[in-house]
Structure 1
């Protein structure tokens, strides 16, 4: 009897909240939105039931209001309704959620910015479906939050959404034209959010527009080279090396800028002490920094622009040339810095690796 009573009371509460959302005063709508948030947090079945009762369009319509508290409650309810259900996200898009985003980021406080970022991150997972996500609405809003004085958690949510959206080539033009490249480069220097920022840059750099924007940014290549020195952030090293590879490929101008910024010494250290993938990418870059008069970089030896993982497909002759180049560079550059590098090596095995790399005249174990 008690369970039946509780079930009946829950049904009455749900029915009342739905009715208030559709026909109530503004105060009643706010109260109903708060109740819908609580109910939606229970389970997926309840979220689907609420959606079937038409609460999503009613909540989205509340975002048109100038009353901050009402908008906040509506967004929080939508966050709960979107959790774990593709259908509810689609219903939000059909209700034109993105057209109701605030035009001025400055009108939002930090809490509201965080709520919107969380909701848009959830919506952005639709990018791999047939549901269109209008870039002209969502991208400027996300970039605006990144450029504002938002919390680190909010920035991470925005970066997660931008990563999903940047995976679609059609969005690259909007992202670049909105000035996101410089924002991402700035954020990539912060170790708390660097990995996500670099992942987005990795998606953008494979396009002509994205690559051009990075080449022209004053932070490139210095900021990326600096990230390559982060020994405790191997994933960041790998992503920075990937971006530098694409920028350096078939571009003597970019390679000259990198050389001037001291990339060779950094690459040598990463080639010895980095993760396996970072080592491979560093060694490939080192091959390209040999005498420009004796080297031509063919298209087959550069990174594959359609993939986030760069594999070596060098032929045997290229391998031999690469090893000769590396040995020559090691003798000239690494010997005088050997003491510094060996201090960074944490194990005897790494120290032996350094010595072997420097002294070997027939290094056959190099990845490239």
Structure 2
């Protein structure tokens, strides 16, 4: 019994001391004058390690890290301490997800290196896209949309990764049933993807067709390419209709709408019109 007490008491003392230190860092980091001092003092690794402690200690540590992330000069210290992976791991725990996303938002907005680390992290894009579907956590949706919006704006590779991960459906749903801020950010991402993709297609078409037009026998080839492009356009149109059909059905199920409100025939008619709309991200 005595041995057990000797083992427990030091651990309790350590936890109490750690909680007190983290609480002090939280209080000090609330002042702008202290943020950069704390960030460069070597306290960041300790705060990140404290995220593995009990609930109170973890929340205080995360709030302190958020305060430090407000100052761009602290980004390097936070990244070197491995905060990107730690924050991604925390997403999913509803007690800390909102603060984790808020800290990530500060980092990706102020640091290109943070965006690179986030892009290279395992499943980072799918994790953030998944948060867009958290209808019971609108604040998390807004923050995740902001992070994705910044990354899409800054990197073509990240936009491609988002498309590959199937972000379009989540964004379309968010523009319909998200908060006004989430809708605005989702629409902005869709707009960026549409404009960038349209520009790439335009440049590619010019690069292929311009040399052909200079040749005497180029007309037949141009017509052949145009025919192929027409077939591709029809295929894309069908894929768009199928994707929208699935997304609308999923949205209707989430909203618990009865089938008679949006029968299949009417849904198909709506999708046929919508597939030619210039507002689509294609």
Give the direction of change, closer, same or farther, for the CA distance of 1:364–1:126 in structure 2 (3 Å limit): same
Aligned alpha-carbon RMSD (Å)? 3.5
Give the direction of change, closer, same or farther, for the CA distance of 1:268–1:120 in structure 2 (3 Å limit): same
Q: Which runs of 5+ in 1 are unaligned?
A: 1-67, 73-105, 297-326
- Separation (CA, whole Å) in 2 of partners of 1:249 and 1:276: 20
- Separation (CA, whole Å) in 1 of partners of 2:78 and 2:131: 23
Q: TM-score, normalised by structure 2?
A: 0.69
- Separation (CA, whole Å) in 1 of partners of 2:140 and 2:127: 12
Question: Which structure carries more helix by proportion?
Answer: 2
How far has the Cα of 1:134 moved from its partner?
Answer: 5.2
Number of positions where the alignment pairs a residue of Structure 1 with one of Structure 2: 228
Give the direction of change, closer, same or farther, for the CA distance of 1:282–1:143 in structure 2 (3 Å limit): same
Residue of structure 2 equivalent to 1:200: 103
Q: Which runs of 5+ in 2 are unaligned?
A: 1-7, 201-236
Contact kept? 1:334, 1:358, Cα under 8 Å:
yes
Which residue of the other structure, out of 97, 122, 135, is the alignment partner of 2:27?
122
How far has the Cα of 1:138 moved from its partner?
Answer: 1.6
Which structure's CA Rg is the greater one?
1
- Separation (CA, whole Å) in 2 of partners of 1:272 and 1:363: 16
Contact kept? 1:229, 1:237, Cα under 8 Å:
yes
Matches within 5 A, 1:108-147: 109-128=14-33, 132-133=37-38, 135-146=40-51
Contact kept? 1:357, 1:363, Cα under 8 Å:
no
Q: TM-score, normalised by structure 1?
A: 0.54
How far has the Cα of 1:184 moved from its partner?
Answer: 0.8
- Separation (CA, whole Å) in 1 of partners of 2:26 and 2:184: 33
Higher relative contact order (CA 8 A, sep 6+): 2
Which residue of the other structure, out of 145, 166, 173, is the alignment partner of 2:69?
166
Matches within 5 A, 1:1-368: 109-128=14-33, 132-133=37-38, 135-146=40-51, 148=52, 150-206=53-109, 207-290=111-194, 293-295=197-199, 331-345=241-255
Deviations 1:161-180 (A, max 9, x none): 11111111111110011111
How far has the Cα of 1:357 moved from its partner?
Answer: 8.0
